[in-house]
Amino acid sequence: MLSLRKLFFDPAPPTEEQLTRGRRCLIAEGAVAGVLYSIGTGNFMTGYLGQMGASVSFCALMAMIPQAGCILQFFSPLLFERLHHRKLAIWSLCVVFRFSLSLTFLLPARMGPQAEGMAFVLYTLAFAAAGAVTPGLQHMTIGLAPPEARGRFFAVKDIVANCVNSGCTLVLGRLLDAWIAAGHAAAGYSAVGAVCLALAALDAALLAATRENPVAFTSRMRLREVLHPLRDATFRPMLLYSVLGGAFGGFATPFLTVYQMRVLGLSHTFLTTVGVVSAVAGMAGSWLLGRWADRTNWRRVIRAAAACSLSCTLGWALVQPAWAPWLAPVLMVASHGCACGSSTATHTLQNACSPNTPKKAYICTTAALASMVACASAAVATAVQPLLALPLGNGSIRVLFVLAAVGGFANLAVNGRRLPAVK
C-alpha cells in the first residue's frame, strides 16, 4: 500500500533525476501509444472487421468513434482541474483505453452473432477513455518538459514516435498480409491483438514509472463562456466554416479506409507504406504552407489546402481498382500534406480571431461543435449507405464522396470567403 501511495501520490517534490527519468519514460510511452493508436484506427481495424463479416456501414460507424471520443476532451478538464495529483486518474484511463482497444481484436471474433456488438462496446469504451484522458496526459507531459528546452523535448518526442510507429506498422502490415495470403487471416488478426495487448502492458508500466510533477491546471472554463463564440460576429465565420466542414467531411471520412480495402483491393502493406510517405508529406506540407502564410495570409492557405483536400475526396470517387496502385498514393500523399497544413492554418486563424479572454472557450467550442456535427453526419451516412447500396453497390460510397466534396466546395466558396485575412 505504501509503495502504491508513493507511486501515485508522492508528497515530496521530484528530484532532477526523477524528472529526467520521467521524460524518458514519456518519450517511450508516446511511441508505444502511437503504435497502438495507428493499429486501432487504421487499416488493421478495418481489415479485422471485414474478416469478422462486418458491413461497410458498420466499419464506417466504427471509424467515427475515435472522433466522437474527442468530444469528451471538452469536458474532461472539469475532472482534472480538481485534482492536484492526477497520475492515478491518467494511468487508469490510459489502461482502460489501451486494453479495451487490444481486446477489440481478441474477444469479438470468438463471440459469434454478438461479435459486432462486443466490438462496438469495447471500441467505444476505449475512445471514451482516450478522449477523457487526453487533456490530463498533455498537461502531465507539459509539467515534466524542461521549461528552457520545451520545444526541443516535444520535437524529440514526436520524431521518436513517428519513427517507431512507421517501422512497427510497416512490419506488422507485411506480416499480416503474409498470414492472409496463406489463408490464416483469423490467426493473423489474433496476433495483432496479442501485439496490442503486450504494448498496452508496456504502456501501463511506462506511465506508472513516470514521476509526476504536479502543476496548476489552467484549463478552467465557465459554462457560460461556451456561448461567447456563438455571439461573436467577428468569430462566427470561422465557427461556421469549421462546423460545416465537419458536417460534410462526416459523409466521406469514415468510409475511406473500408473503400480502399474492399473496393480498391489495397493491402495492409500498401496502405502502411503509403501512410509513412504521407506522414513525411504532412510535415513538409505544414512547413511549406507556413512559409507561404508568412508571405501572404492564413486565409489564403486554408482555402488553397481545403481546395486540394476536397479535390482528393472527389478523386476517390473516380478511382477504379485498376488505377488504384498508382493513383491512390497520389491522393493519399496530397490529401495528408494539405490536411496537416490546413490544420495548422485553421488553428492559427482561430487563435488570431478569438479574444485573449476567453480564448480557450472559442477554440474548445469550435472543436467540440465540429466533432459533434461530423459524428452526426457520419451517423446519417452510415444509415443511408446500405439503402444506396441496393441499387448502386460499391457506387454508394462514391456517391457519398461526391456529396462530401460538393458540400465542402460550397462551404469553401461561401464561408471560406468570409474568413479574415490574418498574417
Upstream peptide bond of 358 is cis (omega within 30 degrees of 0): yes
Residue 176 has pLDDT above 80, yes or no: yes
CA atoms within 13 Å, Cβ hemisphere of 362: 24
What's the rounded Cα separation, in Å, for the pair 422 and 300?
9
What's the rounded Cα separation, in Å, for the pair 115 and 340?
35
Which of 196, 220, 244 is the last residue in one of the domains?
220
Domain co-membership, 285 together with 358: yes
Domain co-membership, 42 together with 134: yes
Domain co-membership, 3 together with 128: yes
Domain co-membership, 50 together with 153: yes
Task: Say if residues 126 and 96 touch (Cβ distance below 8 Å).
Answer: yes
Query: What's the rounded mean pLDDT across residues 347-363?
Result: 72
Domain co-membership, 258 together with 309: yes
Assigned C-alpha cell, 7? 507511486
Residue 128 has pLDDT above 80, yes or no: yes
Question: What confidence tier does 357 reach under pLDDT thresholds 50, 70, 90?
Answer: low
Helix-, strand-, coil-residue percentages of the chain, each rounded to 5: 85, 0, 15
Assigned C-alpha cell, 32? 508505444
Nearest residue to 397 (alpha-carbon basis) of 62, 44, 60, 53: 60
Domain co-membership, 339 together with 392: yes
What's the rounded Cα separation, in Å, for the pair 401 and 60?
13
Distance of alpha carbon 128 from its chain centroid, rounded? 13
- Structural domain of 212: 1-220
How confident is the prediction for the chain on average, in pLDDT? Answer: 85
Which of 220, 253, 284 is the last residue in one of the domains?
220
Q: Exposed e or buried b for every residue in 213-237, given b needs 16+ CB within 10 A?
A: bbeebebebeeebbebbeeeeebeb
Domain co-membership, 244 together with 373: yes
- Give the predicted TM-score (pTM) of the model: 0.86
Tell me phi and psi for residue 53, to 5 degrees.
Answer: 95, 15
Nearest residue to 229 (alpha-carbon basis) of 408, 358, 410: 358
Task: List the Cα angle 281/244/258 in 5-degree steps.
Answer: 55
Assigned C-alpha cell, 314? 472527389
Assigned C-alpha cell, 345? 492554418
What's the rounded Cα separation, in Å, for the pair 293 and 302?
9
Domain co-membership, 213 together with 227: no
Of the listed ranges 84-88, 250-254, 322-326, 356-360, the least confidently predicted one is 356-360
Domain co-membership, 113 together with 54: yes
What's the rounded Cα separation, in Å, for the pair 329 and 335?
10
pLDDT tens-digit map of 195-225: 999 999 999 999 998 888 776 655 555 666 6
Task: Say if residues 22 and 211 touch (Cβ distance below 8 Å).
Answer: yes
The CATH number of the domain holding residue 189 is 1.20.1250.20
pLDDT tens-digit map of 12-60: 777 888 888 888 999 999 999 999 999 998 899 999 999 888 899 999 9
Task: List the Cα angle 21/22/26 in 5-degree steps.
Answer: 120
Residue 2 has pLDDT above 50, yes or no: no
- How would DSSP label each residue in 291-319? HHHHHS-HHHHHHHHHHHHHHHHHHHHH-
What's the rounded Cα separation, in Å, for the pair 40 and 24?
24
* Helix/strand/coil for 360: helix
Domain co-membership, 40 together with 152: yes
The pLDDT of residue 3 is 67
Residue identified by cell 486565409 is 299
Q: Which 8-state DSSP code applies to residue 113?
A: G
Query: What's the rounded mean pLDDT across residues 173-201?
Result: 93
Residue 360 has pLDDT above 70, yes or no: no
Domain co-membership, 252 together with 347: yes
- 37, 204, 216, 308 from 98: Cα distances, Å: 9, 9, 27, 35
Q: Could you tell me which residue, 27 or 357, shows the higher pLDDT?
A: 27
Residue identified by cell 457520419 is 378
CA atoms within 13 Å, Cβ hemisphere of 324: 16
Domain co-membership, 98 together with 237: no
What is the number of structural domains in the chain?
A: 2
Which of 162, 185, 220 is the last residue in one of the domains?
220
- 89, 120, 144 from 45: Cα distances, Å: 27, 12, 33
Query: What's the rounded mean pLDDT across residues 297-321?
Result: 89
Question: What confidence tier does 1 reach under pLDDT thresholds 50, 70, 90?
Answer: very low
* Helix/strand/coil for 9: helix
pLDDT tens-digit map of 284-302: 777 777 777 777 777 888 8
The pLDDT of residue 104 is 93
Query: What's the rounded mean pLDDT across residues 378-403?
Result: 92
The pLDDT of residue 284 is 79
The pLDDT of residue 338 is 83
Task: Say if residues 88 and 9 touch (Cβ distance below 8 Å).
Answer: yes
Task: Say if residues 210 and 26 touch (Cβ distance below 8 Å).
Answer: yes
Strand (E) or helix (H) holding 352: helix 324-353
Which percentage of the chain shows pLDDT scores above 70? 91
The pLDDT of residue 231 is 80
Q: Residue 276: how many CB atoms within 10 A of its CB? A: 16
